[in-house]
């Protein structure tokens, strides 16, 4: 996917940050994931929104940069000041890891 980006700078920076925060993200995921999944399940049952839980889970579930996706709107043509509604001009979209069923919490 990286090879198809017109401007690779944002991708390269994000990939470096992803790698450098790997241990911290892994440790935090281990501490927080069960609580966050239980909170999300309870929110679904109660039909309420929980922006903090949703955003925190999204951050923890960002997949490896090799799994990030080329923007379907601009096709990675993020150079020359082009702003895209699909990717905000970076040319790619983050992908989320699939959560194995065994790690999904349905307890409320």
Q: Is the pLDDT of residue 103 over 60?
A: no
Look at the chain and count its residues.
108
**Average pLDDT of the chain, as a whole number:** 86
Q: Is the pLDDT of residue 12 over 60?
A: yes
Alpha carbons 13 and 36: distance in angstroms, whole number: 28
- Beta-bridged to residue 96, according to DSSP, are 62
Q: What digits encode the pLDDT tens for the residues 23-74?
A: 999 999 999 988 998 998 998 888 888 888 888 888 889 999 999 999 999 8
CB 36 within 8 A of CB 99: no
Residue with tokens 């992908």: 95
CB 6 within 8 A of CB 77: yes
pTM exceeds 0.85: no
- What mean pLDDT is predicted for residues 78-96? 82
Alpha carbons 3 and 25: distance in angstroms, whole number: 27
């Amino acid at each position: 996917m990286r090879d198809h980006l017109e401007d690779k700078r944002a991708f390269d920076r994000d990939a470096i940050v992803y790698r450098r925060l790997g241990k911290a993200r892994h440790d935090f995921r281990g501490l927080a994931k069960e609580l966050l999944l239980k909170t999300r399940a309870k929110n679904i049952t109660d039909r309420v929104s929980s922006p903090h839980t949703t955003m925190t889970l999204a951050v923890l579930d960002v997949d490896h940069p090799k799994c990030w996706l080329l923007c379907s709107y601009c096709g990675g043509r993020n150079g020359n000041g082009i702003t895209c509604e699909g990717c905000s001009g970076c040319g790619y979209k983050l992908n989320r890891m699939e959560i194995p069923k065994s790690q999904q919490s349905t307890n409320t």
